[in-house]
Every structure is written in structure tokens, then in C-alpha cells.
Chain A
Amino acid sequence: MSSASPSSELPTAAPTARPVLSVRNLTTQFRTDRGLLTAVDSVSFDVFEGEVLGIVGESGCGKSVTARSIMRLLPEHITRYGPDSRVEFSGCNLLELKERRMRRIRGDRIAMIFQEPMTALNPVYTIGAQLDEALRYHTSLSRRERRRRVLELLERVEIPSPERRRREYPHQLSGGMRQRIVIAMALACEPDVLIADEPTTALDVTIQAQILRLMDELRKTSQTAIVLITHDLGVVAQMCDRVVVMYAGQVVESAGVDDLFHDAAHPYTRALLESIPRSGARRTGRLATIPGMVPGLDEMPAACRFAERCSGREDRCTRIAPRLTDITDARSVRCHFPMHQAAGETH
């Protein structure tokens, strides 16, 4: 393993520990008929063993593209990564890995859960066959052993009567069950990192709670690092240790979960928090709308991307792009006029 640990620009919860996965200046661009579009712009974060890192932001801000860049699941021929972009995992830069070696990491060391349980499974193969696949690629287990493992996995994600379910097709299962299957599939080879891209968005509230509880247990039992992508701040509060807030392809704030909820520094984060209804359970905290529109990928302002919608906008905001700066050793924010208490000023 390489010893040159990158000098972390982001504060970490445990500065002495080495991150399992470390994303550095990830820039992802798409070649389209409208030109080269930058969907993710210089995103950096670390994930440590046994921790849950939340990535939040409105839909379209580049969360899924970030996740898929890490796994290199984007269509190769139209995707371009920035020259200084790195995804460090077990000593190599995943972005430069040969496809063949990348394939050995996918599903084995890093696994992924998707938003839409209805479409994430192949409709023409049985549950069992699809669970079996990952084991086939990454283990040398015999057919019988694999079958036992499949049953184990089904039990682990609390699927009743696994022997019967194994032989069923995805359309015979409910949405919540399917999501459990997707999770079981991701867990098949006990990955070091689990990337969950809005795993509960498409489910109804009671099922959501079950899935989250399941993930929480997994984290506790197997020390898997989880990147939890969501646009639901309620989920963040319940699950995450640290949070990265994204807006229009950039990280605008990153902080520990308590700091973020009690003393957000970026106006965008504040706006997000304010849009959660105060009363009632935090579970209902879906993002309400903030007035204004996210700028399109082909019309990104050169200055602050949130300025247009920001209530505290000043002249400078529309002229100079703010840089992501550390405000304490565990937090950073991309704003000319951060709003947290330590800054000691108000607008």
C-alpha cells in the first residue's frame, strides 16, 4: 500500500485514522450535444471505517454522479474525469484502474444500493440467480455453498421464507422486499464500503424506517463504511456521523451531524433546515422547496452558484466564486459570509 497519505483538505472526525475511501477533487464531465457539461465539480471527502457519511442536496446536484464516478459506472465514452481527480481506495486511484481490475472491486470491496427497487433488479431472472451472481464473480464457493450463502443473506435482510423467495421473480415481491434484496446483493461479499444512493426515497414511510434500521445494524455488526446519499435531512439526522452538503455539483458545506443541525454555516444548508417542519417527527423532513431554480449545467454562474437564491447575497457573491475554506478543524464551508455563530457576525 502506498504510504503517501494525501494531505486532507477536509476535516475528519478522527484525524489519526486512515480513511477507507478518499475522494479528492472529483470532477466529472459529460460530453453531450450541448458541449462538455460539468456535473460534479471538484468534490472531496473521506469515509472512515464504520462511519456513515451523508451526502445531501437537492435532486440534480450531482449526488448520483458522484456515487457512480466512485464505482466507475458512468458510460465511459461520454464521461471525463478531471486531471487531478482521484478516488483513493486501498492504495490505488480507482479512476485510473483498468476495467478488469475495477470489476473485481465492484460488488466485492465496494458495493452499491440504488434508489429504485422497482427497476434495479433484472425482471427475467429469479432473486436467487441474481444474488448468486455476485458470489460467482468474487468467490470460489461451490454451487451448493453459494446457495447456502444466498439463503443466509436473505435471512440477514429479514426476508420471510427465503427458500421460497429465492425462486421467485422480482415482480412477485413488494418494493420494500426488493430493496432488501438489493441490499442483500450488495452485502453478498461483505464490502468495505457501501454506497447507498437514496435507498429509501422510493419507499413509503414505514418501510423506510425498516430499511434504515437494517442498514444501521449492518454498520454496527460489520464495521462497513457507508456513504448514504439522500435528500432527506431526517434520514441524515437519524443515520449519519458526518454530512457533506452539495449544491449544483459542488460541496458547499461539510460538518459533523450535530454542528450541521445546530449551527449551519452555509445559507443553503440553513435554507434546507428551515424547510423542515419544526413540529412532529423528524422523519417527515423531506426537503421543501427553496424559492428559485438550480442553475442548469450549461449555464453555471462563474461566481457563487447559490447567489441567485441566497437571501444574504451581497455584491461580492455575484462577482467572485467563494472557495471551500475550513472554519474549524472539523468543518468547512464555501461562502463569503458564513452564518455560523463562531463567525460572530450577522447579516
Chain B
Amino acid sequence: MWTYLIRRLAWNVPVYLGILLFIMIVLRVRDPVFARLPKNATEQDKADIRAELGLDQPFVAQYRDLLRQVCTLSFDQESWSHPGQTVGQIMKRSIGPSLAITVPALVFTTVLSVTVALCSAWFRGRLPDRLLVLTSVLGMSISFLVYIILGQYFAAFRMREITGIDLFAISYDPEVSGVGGMEFVTTVWPRYYLLPVLTSVVVAMGYDTRFYRAVMVEESSRDYIITARAKGAPQWRIMFVHMLKNAMIPIITRVATTLPFLITGSFLLERYFGIPGMGNQLLLAVESLDFPVVQAFTAVFAALYIATILLTDILYALVDPRVRLS
């Protein structure tokens, strides 16, 4: 197994180098110096700024520097748009808010949609199942942004107006970003994060339920299910013992591939509710052509992505006796 993992890692090295190279090249399509020039700038000003940003170095040297940061995990380059702060500091500060959305959302979504999919497979072809398939297809055809806007209006704004219950904040309050520990969990999280999480769950449910249902339906048509029924196994055992364990493989794959997608989902949520997470920071950095932040963030995203894929492989081997990592 170890040799397998090492081989997989080795294959991912060129891929990873490619990602860094690609992102550096794409970023350099636009010249960040322009945006930072004072009025009536001279050629000298231009060159000064260029040198200040480190862009006068040869491309290879810049690439090497990025690699060094990634390898040593010390993102010590200074951010261009937040002078005095290193990329590492920004990342450290924004990872918490992001995870406060993505992790609960992923857990809720997966548990809920696997359960709903199982129920759906139980009622296969009958009314509850048909309704579910219909709802999820309808739900998938509406834009994420619409859910966010309507969720904010109804759950935060109208609810307070009608019932007087002030449960959710309409948007994030920067004052609370310093709060941590127990207080965060009991007061800040429900007020500022729960609504984004719920929105994310509602949106993801449509896609996930549909996928898991397809998996269950596929599993339920397998021969071993008939064998189990011919043995006299009760329906619940067939679903929860026979089907579910077999369905674990696609479920794991799905969860793993959803991980990065939930981060992408939170781009929109973070931006809309003003939550200072990774996605929001990255957007700001892209807009202000803050190369160090964009490069480092992409590098971390991609590393996480590759890591999840490797993790999936390991989990496969744990779940499915047929899979040998070799």
C-alpha cells in the first residue's frame, strides 16, 4: 500500500508543478503595476514599483520562490493589498470562517441526502420517490444566488419582521471576527453562520440526493440483492446492511469530490454575507491583483484537492475488499 501511495504522490508532483506554473502564467496576463501607478507616473516610478513587487526578478526565480514557500509551508511573502501582513497570516485568519461553513454543511448534506436517498430507494417508483426526483430536478434548475437572496430575505429579514424572532443576522458583522472558543460556537456561529450553512445544504441536497438515489437504485438491481432476498432477508437489512456498504464507495468518492466544491460554494456565500473566509479573501486578492495571495491560495486549494483524491483511494481499500492498492 505504501508503495502505491508513494507512486501516486510521485505522479502528482508534475501535476502540482503544472498548477503552480499555470497560475503564475495566467496571473501575469495582466500587469499589476498599472493599477498601482500614481498619477503622472514616470518610467522610473514604474520600475520602482516593479522592483518593489519583486516582478523585476526573472520568472524562474519567482517560480522558485513560490515553490520554496509551498515546500516549507511558510507563506512569508507580504501581501500586496494588505501591506504589513504576510500571506500566511491572511490565510490563517480566513481559514476558520471558511471551515465554519463548509464542514457543517458537508456533514449535514451528506447525512441528510444519503438518508433521503435510501428512503427514496425504499419507495422506488412510488409517489414519495417520484416526488423526490421531481423536487431535486426542479431545485437544481434554480441558481445558487437565488437561494441565497431568498434565504436571506425570508429566514433573516421576514422572520424577524413577522415573528419577532431575531435568529439570523442579515449579514456578517466584522466586530465578531475576534470571538473564539465556546462563545463562538454558542452565539456567533448560530447567528452569522447557520443561515449560510443551511442555504448551502438546501442547494447541495438537490444534487446529492439525486446522485445517491441513482447509486442506491443501481445497487438495488444487483444480483446479490436478489440472493439476499431469496435467503429471506428483511427489507431493512437489505438496505442498511447489504446495499449501504456497497454504496459506500460512490458515497465516499462523492463526499471527497464535494469537499473542494463546498469551498467553491462558499465563495458566493462568503461574498454575499460578507464572511471573511478563504473564498472572499481570494476574490478580493484577484480583484486587487494581489499575486502573492492568489498564488498561495491556489497552491493550497490544489494541494488539498490532490490530498482528498489520495485519501479517497485509501478509504476505498478500507471499504471494498476487492480494492488492493498496488
Find out whether A and B make contact in their complex, taking CB atoms under 8 A apart as touching: yes
**Cβ of A185: which chain B residues have Cβ within 8 Å of it?**
227, 231
Please state if A122 and B228 are interface contacts (CB–CB under 8 Å).
yes
Pick from A68, A75, A106, A119: contact of B231, CB under 8 Å: A106
**Cβ of B228: which chain A residues have Cβ within 8 Å of it?**
122, 133
Known contacts A103-B232, A114-B226, A169-B322; A122 and B246 CB within 8 A of each other: yes
Task: For the complex, give the distance between the alpha carbons of A121 and B226 in Å.
Answer: 10
**Cβ of B320: which chain A residues have Cβ within 8 Å of it?**
123-124
Please state if A134 and B231 are interface contacts (CB–CB under 8 Å).
yes
- The answer to whether A112 has its CB under 8 Å from any CB of chain B is yes
Q: Interface digits, A173-201 against B, CB 8 Å rule (1 contact, 0 not)?
A: 00000000010011010000000000000
**Cβ of B230: which chain A residues have Cβ within 8 Å of it?**
71, 73, 106-107, 111-112, 114, 186
- The answer to whether B300 has its CB under 8 Å from any CB of chain A is no
Q: Interface digits, B213-239 against A, CB 8 Å rule (1 contact, 0 not)?
A: 000000000111011111111100000
- The answer to whether A253 has its CB under 8 Å from any CB of chain B is no
Please state if A120 and B223 are interface contacts (CB–CB under 8 Å).
yes
Distance in angstroms from B250 CB to nearest chain A CB is: 13
Please name 17 pairs of A and B residues whose Cβ atoms are closer than 8 Å in the assembled complex, sorted by A.
A75-B124, A75-B125, A78-B125, A107-B230, A116-B223, A119-B222, A120-B223, A121-B227, A122-B227, A122-B228, A124-B319, A133-B231, A137-B231, A169-B321, A171-B322, A182-B227, A188-B231
Please state if A120 and B245 are interface contacts (CB–CB under 8 Å).
no
Distance in angstroms from B220 CB to nearest chain A CB is: 9
Q: A122-B227, A124-B246 are in contact. List 7 more A-B contacts (CB 8 A).
A: A68-B226, A103-B232, A108-B232, A114-B226, A123-B322, A124-B319, A133-B228
Task: For the complex, give the distance between the alpha carbons of A108 and B224 in Å.
Answer: 18
Within 8 A of A (CB), among B239-260: 242, 245-246
- The answer to whether B30 has its CB under 8 Å from any CB of chain A is no
Known contacts A77-B126, A78-B125; A120 and B227 CB within 8 A of each other: yes
Q: Interface digits, B190-206 against A, CB 8 Å rule (1 contact, 0 not)?
A: 00000000000000000
By beta carbon, the residue of chain A nearest B243 is A122
By beta carbon, the residue of chain B nearest A172 is B321
Known contacts A103-B232, A103-B234, A122-B246; A73 and B224 CB within 8 A of each other: no
- The answer to whether A219 has its CB under 8 Å from any CB of chain B is no
Please state if A122 and B321 are interface contacts (CB–CB under 8 Å).
no
Task: For the complex, give the distance between the alpha carbons of A226 and B124 in Å.
Answer: 33
Task: For the complex, give the distance between the alpha carbons of A131 and B242 in Å.
Answer: 14
By beta carbon, the residue of chain B nearest A72 is B229
Within 8 A of B (CB), among A133-189: 133-134, 137-138, 169, 171, 182, 185-186, 188
Please state if B229 and A122 are interface contacts (CB–CB under 8 Å).
no
Task: For the complex, give the distance between the alpha carbons of A106 and B124 in Å.
Answer: 22
